[in-house]
Structure 1
Amino acid sequence: MEPGSPPQPLLSGSGLLWRLCNLAMAAFFGLAGAVQVNDPDPGLWIVAYSVPAVLTLIVGLNPPIADNIVWRSLSDLHTAACIVGAAILGWSLFANAQKNILHEEEGRELFGLVIITAWMSLCRSSAKSTLGGIRSAAAISLSLFPFVMWLYIYMNAEMRASWPSHCKTVI
């Protein structure tokens, strides 16, 4: 579809797929926020994940809302904060990383911020045009990626052994 074309019908195959991807990501962001309760700085990370959880749930329930000025403003503000946070964490990792980036708490936090930024950008762009093949594939991949990574990290005994103590009591 051409940019600027009207959004797809909400019950079409791609419209339903978009809603399901948003609901999956809302669940992921909600779970990611919930496991932050024992983090050294839980308030920051609970907010970091709860805001996109709510925004994404709203898009999953009512996709045209992504064109609403209030939704877009909240999304843009949160995305900007995540980009700043990702830049800070990226610099810290570049300067101080000792091992695999996923073994570093800052690396996992960085990935979380990148996922938030990518998903919020995809949601924002969905308001202006239909999700074509590439964006549908991106939505499916991005909505499955966090769950696959969570499963990988959880099942990897070596990675769990290197977790800080506050991470060993989550789910």
Structure 2
Amino acid sequence: MIFKIVSLLLAAYFIFAGAVQYNDPDPLHWMLLYFTSSLACILAALDKDKLPLLYAIIGMAGIEIAATIDGFLDWLRTGNENLITAKMTDEKPYIELGREFLGALISLVVITWLWYRKRTKNSK
């Protein structure tokens, strides 16, 4: 029961994360990542999750992490701003990239957890 509740809370988070991407300069791939992550959480809560979907999302999150890691590392080196509250500017692209990196990382961690759980459950 706790797994279902956590999965549904994570699904709600990913729906919110996808919904706020509408005004982003590059919304489509982020919305796709977050909404498919939400779908995976809902399917897992219903015990209808499928490994191919989880693999696809892991790949999508990995690509986003690879595309944004330089900005995240720049933020670690030069930024002392809070990534959540800092204003995004052209002079500080690492703010947006850092946020995107962390969002993709959250998706990767959650979907890897679902993958591990599904894989372990299938091997029993």
TM-score if structure 2 supplies the norm length? 0.78
Q: Which protein has the larger Cα radius of gyration, Structure 1 or Structure 2?
A: 1
* 1:126 is the counterpart of 2:117: yes
TM-aligned CA deviation for residue 54 of structure 1: 0.8
- Structure 1 segments, 4+ long, off by >3 Å, are none
Q: 1:146 maps to which residue?
A: none
- 5+ residue gaps, structure 1, are 1-15, 131-171
Q: 1:74 maps to which residue?
A: 53
- 5+ residue gaps, structure 2, are 87-94
* 1:34 is the counterpart of 2:19: yes
Alignment-mate amino acid for residue 37 of structure 1: Y
TM-aligned CA deviation for residue 88 of structure 1: 2.1
Match among 64, 67, 77 for residue 88 of structure 1: 67
TM-aligned CA deviation for residue 22 of structure 1: 0.3
Q: CA deviation digits over 1:19-64, x for unaligned, max 9?
A: 11100000000010011111111112111100111111111122xx
Tell me how far apart the structure 1 counterparts of residues 58 and 33 of structure 2 sit (CA, whole Å): 10
Aligned length in residues: 108
Tell me how far apart the structure 2 counterparts of residues 128 and 76 of structure 1 sit (CA, whole Å): 11
TM-aligned CA deviation for residue 92 of structure 1: 3.2
Q: CA deviation digits over 1:114-171, x for unaligned, max 9?
A: 11001101111112446xxxxxxxxxxxxxxxxxxxxxxxxxxxxxxxxxxxxxxxxx
Alignment of 1:78-117 (within 5 A): 78-94=57-73, 96-97=74-75, 98-100=78-80, 102=83, 103=86, 104-117=95-108
Q: Percent identity?
A: 25
Give the number of the structure with larger relative contact order, counting CA–CA contacts within 8 Å between residues 6 or more apart. 1
